[in-house]
């Protein structure tokens, strides 16, 4: 039986390849809005980040997403908070 291919994506913070389902997509749409996409299917230019709160906080200090999307920190503060919220939401056992 043939093994199913696992889609891999590169984290823009750590530069490591990881399975797509283990990452969160950050999207910039045509209107210029930037947001975290939990489903990974919204339209726009996207970047993937690891589901590691420590790495997200380090990226916020180093302004990684600001450099990638060429925008200011004020615009991306709510995006960082949303990414952290999504990580904690998935960690809660059901």
The architecture (CATH level 2) of 8-91 comes to 2-Layer Sandwich (3.30)
Return the pLDDT at 94: 54
Would you call 17 exposed, middle or buried from its count of C-beta atoms within 10 A (0-12, 13-18, 19+)?
A: exposed
Residue 59's nearest CA partner among 2, 28, 13, 4 is 13
Report if pTM > 0.95: no
Return the pLDDT at 93: 64
**pLDDT 10s per residue in the chain (94 long)?**
788 899 999 999 999 999 998 899 999 999 999 999 988 889 999 999 999 999 999 999 999 999 999 999 898 999 999 999 999 887 766 5
């Amino acid at each position: 039986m043939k093994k199913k291919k696992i889609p891999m994506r590169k984290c823009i913070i750590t530069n490591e390849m990881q399975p797509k389902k283990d990452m969160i997509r950050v999207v910039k749409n045509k209107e210029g809005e930037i947001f975290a996409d939990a489903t990974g299917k919204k339209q726009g230019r996207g970047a993937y980040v690891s589901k590691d709160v420590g790495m997200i906080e380090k990226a916020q200090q180093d302004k990684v997403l600001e450099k990638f999307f060429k925008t200011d920190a004020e615009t991306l503060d709510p995006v960082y908070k949303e990414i952290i919220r999504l990580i904690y939401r998935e960690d809660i056992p059901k």
